[in-house]
Structure 1
Amino acid sequence: MRGTSLLGRLRRRDPGYAILRRAARVTLVASVVFYGGRYGVGSSTLATYGLFGAIAAGAFAQLPGPAPQRARILVLSLPVVWALITAGALLAWSTWAAAGGMLVIGFVVAFAGVGNPRLMGLASAFQLFYILASFPPYQPGTLPQRLAGVTLAIVLLALAEVALWPDPVPVSYRQRLAEAAAGVGALLDATADALTNPRTGPAGREQRRPRAYHVVAALDLTRNPPVGAPIAAGAKDRSLRICAAALREVLAEADRLAADPPPQPIPDLAAARLLRSGAETTRAAGRSLSGGTPPVDLGDLDAAIRWAEASYRVVESDRRDPPDVPRLCRDATALAIADQVRVFAVGARVATGARLGGTDAGSKLFEYARHKPWTLYWRQYRAHLAPRSAHLHGSLRLAVALAIARVAAGALQLTHGFWVLLATLTVLRSSAADTRTALRPAVLGTIAGALVSGAVMLVVNQPIVYAVVLPVTLMLAFGVGRLLGPVWQQALFTVLLTVVFAQLDPGGWRLAEARLVDVLLGAVIGVLAGVAMWPRGAGHDLRHNAIGYLAANADAVELTVQAVLGDAPPPDRALDRVRRRTVLIDSSYCQYHSERHDPRRRQVNWDAVLGAGHHVLPGAESLLRRNPPGCLADWPEAAALLRESAGQLRSAYHELADEVAHGRAPGPIPVSTTCAEEVDRLRPLLGAVDPRSARHLVEVNRWLAGLADTFTRIHD
């Protein structure tokens, strides 16, 4: 019964035994290269670099994707590893030279994650390779053995990733998007049925609605591990994030449309036809993301949009009856849904590497897709070479801390000084809160491991014993330790290092004492650096960028309304500011996603905050395409109503920015309204007005009401 209980607990903590599989591969490869180097060819240098190469690449590196992709990344990283080891070996002649190299390399390796935070999964491994090579003895002649050991370890580990107990293929973000697209497509079909068949349609829609919201909620970055989330600066990852935002907007607009079905069935309702076309396009775009199907064809959706816009002109040409505002409202909402579906479909084409046609690239939302990947990455790096960049702060903090640790280890002539830097690397995080969280298990685990190791070494002083138990300690450190928690992991890792160096350089119980002293020194350096240098982490940078982002959105909304009223030119510059601010907040959020967050501080629904800008950008572009500037210039009553709504939204954006910056309670939240309520609001203005002007008013007012909905989602 105890065995069954233990197995059940293991399954819960390690679904699919992914941690144990990985630990088994690291154990096998590390044991083979260590035994082969130490006892086969008699080279302690080859054995040391082979063992630590397997540990760094297999346990410290967090690699994304299925096994073949991880193996390919390992092999492609070899030139970087060779360069780091060579630099460390050549700079080991002087403490100050090694520390200077640590400062430069530490910064460069850490800052490389600006373009793709998934590279941070390799950063710790890369830092470890330089750290190991930068310590005495200064023996450039052993460089071939060092490179041979680490190369053998990484190549064997890459082969083991594919051939030995390969992990189940993880669910990719594209697959989640494809599943969400299928759920949203089913909901759009059900919404169309609800509009054309009010008796039975609503029941079917309510059955599909929870499923659609469930699969779309799975797209939040907070629900996806950093190694698998689309958080890079490249076009494909940016497109995947845009796709997720578009599906959220489709859901919100579909709910608004379903809230006001027509009182009588309308089989040829333009909105229903548009929804069905949007549903099929959404599903086709989702299938293209999961692979095996060609890029989605937008011809049917574009034809449906043109047909719906033509139906507007038919309504406008009949001046005998007053404007059918409910129909105009439904058609405007259906067109907004179609616009978001089109954004999703174009984003799917960019994400799959398909070339964009003239109409696809017409929206400036996808302007980045015209540029080469290196251009996008350079822009990302350049944007973060700024005094307020959290990426810059974190990279400088880590580089300075490691350089100080290297100077301290050299000045004190510590026998195993690289343990000091390893402890600093383990403890130091991007915020002081994270550093404090990592400190306790590092210190307690090291103390426990040192006590156990010292006691064992007082009793056992035969190297052969430690050679026999090496595979067991490897499996315990990287398998069982990870499952039991950080304290256990640090304690078992300490025992592992003792077992390794008892075979390389026997020092008795003082080896455990040296380990404890080194870790405590490295932890102190890491904590001091984390507290003294920009301790607030990416959260502070994210909140600062959010203020500018929300202010830019407020300006864009107000200037768009002024444009349709004829009070201002088209808001091209304001929309460009939103795009630039989007890049900054998007990048900050990607780093923030990899941090721990203080549970005592009120958290913000960042996906919804970023979604506010997504609603503004394509919404304003589509709005101005169908409602040219000045289209409501001769209607003062409508102008007063729209200015009031835009002013309320502007105040709401600034209130939200203040709340995000200072954690204050939210101000008055704009109340979202249904189409029926909007009709009552607009009816006193209609009278014998031109139907074309009525359509313009309904569509602009509907866009503003949709923006009010985003505040409800942000505060949810």
Structure 2
Amino acid sequence: MLATSLLGRLRRRDPGDAVLRRAVRLTLVASVVFYACRYGAGSQVLATYGLFGTIAAGSFAQLPGPAPQRARILVTALPAVWALIAAGTLLAWSTWAAAGGMLVIGFVVSFAGVGNPRLVGLASAFQLFYILASFPPYQPDTLPQRLGGVTLAVVLLAAAEVLLWPDPVPVTFRQLLTRAADAVGGFLDDAADALTDPRAGHGGRDSRRAQAYDLVAPLGLGRNPPERAPTAAGAQDRALRISAAALREVLAEADRLAGDAPPEPIPDLAAARLLRACADTTRAAGRSLSPGVPPVDLGSLDAAIRTAEAAYPAGRGGADAPDVPRMCRDATALALADQVRVFAVGARVAAGARPAGGAAYPRLFGYARHSPWTLYWWQFRSHLAPRSAHLHSALRLAVALSVARVAAGVLQLNHGFWVLLATLTVLRTSAADTRTALRPAVLGTIAGVVVSGLLVLLIQEPIVYAVVLPVTLLLAFGVGRLLGPVWQQALFTLLLTVVFSQLSPEGWRLAEARLVDVGLGAVIGVLAGVAMWPRGASHDLRHNAARYLTASGDAVAQTVEAVLGDAPPPEDDLDRVRRRMVLVDSSYCQYHSERHDPRRRRVDWDAALGAGQHVVPGAESLLRRNPPGCLAGWPAAAVLLRDAAGQLRSAYDDLAGEVAHGRASGPVPAPADCVDEVDRVRPLLGTVDTAAVRHLVEVDRWLAGLADSLNRIHPRAGSERRS
């Protein structure tokens, strides 16, 4: 009965059997490697490095993607593993040399994740390879055996990933983007129908709108695990981030346009024709992200945009007055088309094609012209900043591991690498998480030491430990992982006892050494976590997001001044927003892996950061069709736009203050629909040229869209349609 209950509990915690599959693969590979090296080849060095190589690569490494991709990563990483083991072996002659190497390698391995956060999954494994080799005895002549044992382990583990009970292929970010694009394309068709016949298909339109929002929501970076989120510095990941942000804006603009539909049918509306072209391009761009599908062609979309732009200024109302309601809808449709074009160009870059049509966004997609190494260097340089969460984490971990290596060497601990292993296990990116990890590490080690001590006192025959090795491996990496950290630490301690009873039997003193080493490593980890940037990524995220939002507000104001002819194009301001976005993305991803203070005012980070993501591509698209100075010499328009831009800038500053200090933000400008904007613009018309009215409407609609994005963070009463 108890066994049945425990089995049911384990199955509920591992519904897809992912943990069990991984534990079985690791157990089989580790057992084969250990038995072959220890009893077949008769080499303790081969057995030690083969077993710990399997554990490091199979348990501590968190690899992304399907089984073939994980296997390829393991094999590709072998040269780096050899270099780390060689460095540790050669530096083991001195405690201070090994500690210095630990400081450098600990920082480099951890900080390498800023260029590709998926490398973070390999960081702990890489550090373990150096840690194991950097302890006495100093035996450089055993380096070939060390490398041979690790190579055998990694190659067999890579083969097992593909051949032994492989995991189901996970859903990729590209697939999420493809599904969302298909749903948004369907809603764009509905929005086009709403413009030509507002009373047709209303019920189905609401369900498709809800489906589009449901499928776009998972595209937020924080809603994806680090191994799946496109946060690397390479061109394809950058393009995926831009495409996801653009698709969110397409959906918001389509929702706004559907809400501004005319009360009566309008046949042959240019905005409706443009929306249908946008729907086709959105679906095609989404499908192009799948393997084997050719890149999306922008020809039909560009032709539709040119047709809509040509028809745009011709809309006239009674008494030869501009038809401002139609201009509002056409301006929104063109803004939507610009975002679809950004999405399509981003999809081309993400698919590995040339950014055809990217000349319209020379800065947004300028990175596609540079080599991967240049892009990685830019990412590293951006994170060499006082407020970089990655820099803090890398320095904290490197210092803690180096101190632990010095302590283990000075105290001449026989199994000193357990000290560093405990430090690596306990230390987290925030003091709160470090304290949380401390309790199970200590309690689990104590429980494991007690059981291990009794075991070695009762059983002295090595053959018994050889027989139960596969069982303890399966318990440590399968059952322990499912039952929780205390069980995992206790069973891992038991596993170490079983292993070292076959390598170098020490009796009950082995359990005593394990307890002392883990206690020392835990203390060092806690001290480092409390002393060095204890607030983790949460504090950095708030500061970086505040600077990002402030820069976004400045860019909005400068863009308005540019179209009024009172300032140059805001290129420097937009570049500043892009640079600060890099640090925000990094802090945001790390933030989601930490515990958060429940007493601190919570922020809707997806909405808050989305308020800035509309600024850069929106400003570039706006200035392409409304060049600097297009509204110069129209004082009334200048007053209206400066007032709207000033309110937006204040709202961005208030939001920055809210996320940085937790204080309530000020009033957010109400998002205006087309009817509201007609009332605002009509008194300014007079005898001005229709083209000037068009420019005014476009700039005003862009500002209204930004106000709408801010309103999603603090929805007003009655604005549920856009919330």
Structure 1 residues 534-581: Cα deviation after superposition (integer angstroms, max 9, x where no partner):
222222222222222112111111111112222222222222222222
Residue pairs, 1:139-158, within 5 angstroms: 139-158=139-158
Residue 88 of structure 2 contacts residue 134 of structure 2 at CA under 8 Å; is this kept in 1?
Answer: yes
Structure 1 residues 125-153: Cα deviation after superposition (integer angstroms, max 9, x where no partner):
00001111111111112111111111000
Could you tell me which amino acid in structure 2 is paired with residue 185 of structure 1?
Answer: G
Say which SS state the counterpart of residue 219 (structure 2) adopts.
coil
Structure 1 residues 217-254: Cα deviation after superposition (integer angstroms, max 9, x where no partner):
11122221111111111111111111111111111111
Residue 230 of structure 1 is matched in structure 2 by 230
Task: Point out where structure 1 has 5 or more consecutive residues left out of the alignment.
Answer: none
Residue 361 of structure 1 contacts residue 367 of structure 1 at CA under 8 Å; is this kept in 2?
Answer: no
Residue 73 of structure 2 is matched in structure 1 by 73
Distance 2:4 2:633 in 1: 78
Residue 186 of structure 1 contacts residue 279 of structure 1 at CA under 8 Å; is this kept in 2?
Answer: yes
Residue 605 of structure 1 contacts residue 715 of structure 1 at CA under 8 Å; is this kept in 2?
Answer: no
Distance 2:589 2:611 in 1: 17
Distance 1:61 1:158 in 2: 12
Residue 273 of structure 2 is matched in structure 1 by 273
Residue 625 of structure 2 is matched in structure 1 by 626
Structure 1 residues 668-710: Cα deviation after superposition (integer angstroms, max 9, x where no partner):
1221121122222323333444322222221111111100011
Residue 719 of structure 2 is matched in structure 1 by none
Residue 196 of structure 2 contacts residue 272 of structure 2 at CA under 8 Å; is this kept in 1?
Answer: yes
Residue 44 of structure 2 contacts residue 503 of structure 2 at CA under 8 Å; is this kept in 1?
Answer: yes
Residue 346 of structure 1 contacts residue 360 of structure 1 at CA under 8 Å; is this kept in 2?
Answer: no
Residue 194 of structure 2 contacts residue 258 of structure 2 at CA under 8 Å; is this kept in 1?
Answer: yes
Structure 1 residues 258-311: Cα deviation after superposition (integer angstroms, max 9, x where no partner):
112112212311111111111111111111112221000000111111111011
Residue 75 of structure 1 contacts residue 154 of structure 1 at CA under 8 Å; is this kept in 2?
Answer: yes
Residue pairs, 1:218-617, within 5 angstroms: 218-315=218-315, 320-357=319-356, 359-360=358-359, 362-617=361-616
Could you tell me which amino acid in structure 2 is paired with residue 284 of structure 1?
Answer: A
Residue 319 of structure 1 contacts residue 691 of structure 1 at CA under 8 Å; is this kept in 2?
Answer: no
Residue pairs, 1:184-223, within 5 angstroms: 184-223=184-223
Could you tell me which amino acid in structure 1 is paired with residue 147 of structure 2?
Answer: L
Distance 1:221 1:362 in 2: 23
Distance 1:712 1:444 in 2: 48
Task: Single out whichever of 361-370 and 490-499 deviates more from structure 2.
Answer: 361-370
Could you tell me which amino acid in structure 1 is paired with residue 140 of structure 2?
Answer: P
Task: Single out whichever of 303-312 and 542-551 deviates more from structure 2.
Answer: 542-551
1:13 aligns with 2:17: no
Q: Percent identity?
A: 78
Say which SS state the counterpart of residue 666 (structure 1) adopts.
coil
Residue 191 of structure 1 contacts residue 202 of structure 1 at CA under 8 Å; is this kept in 2?
Answer: no
Could you tell me which amino acid in structure 1 is paired with residue 676 of structure 2?
Answer: E
Distance 2:17 2:112 in 1: 31
Residue 222 of structure 2 contacts residue 588 of structure 2 at CA under 8 Å; is this kept in 1?
Answer: no
Task: Single out whichever of 413-422 and 376-385 deviates more from structure 2.
Answer: 376-385
Residue 195 of structure 1 contacts residue 201 of structure 1 at CA under 8 Å; is this kept in 2?
Answer: no
Would the alpha carbon gap of residues 684 and 363 (structure 1) be closer, same or farther in structure 2, given more than 3 Å must change? same
Could you tell me which amino acid in structure 2 is paired with residue 510 of structure 1?
Answer: R
RMSD of the TM alignment (CA)?
Answer: 1.7
Say which SS state the counterpart of residue 486 (structure 2) adopts.
helix
Distance 1:480 1:686 in 2: 74
Could you tell me which amino acid in structure 2 is paired with residue 240 of structure 1?
Answer: L
Structure 1 residues 36-74: Cα deviation after superposition (integer angstroms, max 9, x where no partner):
111111111111110000000000000011111100110
Distance 2:136 2:97 in 1: 12
Residue 450 of structure 1 contacts residue 495 of structure 1 at CA under 8 Å; is this kept in 2?
Answer: yes
Task: Point out where structure 2 has 5 or more consecutive residues left out of the alignment.
Answer: 716-723
Could you tell me which amino acid in structure 2 is paired with residue 76 of structure 1?
Answer: T
Distance 1:107 1:605 in 2: 32
Could you tell me which amino acid in structure 1 is paired with residue 567 of structure 2?
Answer: A
Distance 1:281 1:668 in 2: 38
Distance 2:119 2:592 in 1: 14
Distance 1:230 1:358 in 2: 23
Could you tell me which amino acid in structure 1 is paired with residue 683 of structure 2?
Answer: P
**Could you tell me how far 1:4 is from its partner in structure 2?**
6.9
**Could you tell me how far 1:711 is from its partner in structure 2?**
0.9
Task: Single out whichever of 217-226 and 62-71 deviates more from structure 2.
Answer: 217-226
Task: Single out whichever of 8-17 and 105-114 deviates more from structure 2.
Answer: 8-17
Distance 1:670 1:63 in 2: 45
Structure 1 residues 454-500: Cα deviation after superposition (integer angstroms, max 9, x where no partner):
12222222211111111011111111111111111111111111111
Task: Single out whichever of 98-107 and 667-676 deviates more from structure 2.
Answer: 667-676
Residue 637 of structure 1 is matched in structure 2 by 636
Say which SS state the counterpart of residue 16 (structure 1) adopts.
coil
Could you tell me which amino acid in structure 1 is paired with residue 163 of structure 2?
Answer: A
TM-score, length-normalised on structure 1?
0.97
1:669 aligns with 2:652: no
> How many correspondences in the alignment?
715
Residue 721 of structure 2 is matched in structure 1 by none
Structure 1 residues 404-449: Cα deviation after superposition (integer angstroms, max 9, x where no partner):
1111111111111100000001111122122112111111111111
Would the alpha carbon gap of residues 299 and 5 (structure 1) be closer, same or farther in structure 2, given more than 3 Å must change? farther
Could you tell me which amino acid in structure 1 is paired with residue 213 of structure 2?
Answer: Y
Distance 2:91 2:575 in 1: 47
1:95 aligns with 2:95: yes
Say which SS state the counterpart of residue 364 (structure 1) adopts.
coil
TM-score, length-normalised on structure 2?
0.96
Could you tell me which amino acid in structure 1 is paired with residue 356 of structure 2?
Answer: G
Distance 1:656 1:223 in 2: 22
Residue 185 of structure 1 contacts residue 278 of structure 1 at CA under 8 Å; is this kept in 2?
Answer: yes
Could you tell me which amino acid in structure 2 is paired with residue 699 of structure 1?
Answer: E
Residue 163 of structure 1 is matched in structure 2 by 163
Task: Single out whichever of 115-124 and 444-453 deviates more from structure 2.
Answer: 444-453
Would the alpha carbon gap of residues 367 and 592 (structure 1) be closer, same or farther in structure 2, given more than 3 Å must change? farther
Structure 1 residues 505-526: Cα deviation after superposition (integer angstroms, max 9, x where no partner):
1122221121111101000000
Structure 1 residues 133-177: Cα deviation after superposition (integer angstroms, max 9, x where no partner):
111111112111111111000000000000000000000110010
Distance 2:6 2:303 in 1: 60
Distance 1:79 1:680 in 2: 68
Residue 445 of structure 1 contacts residue 490 of structure 1 at CA under 8 Å; is this kept in 2?
Answer: yes
Would the alpha carbon gap of residues 522 and 125 (structure 1) be closer, same or farther in structure 2, given more than 3 Å must change? same
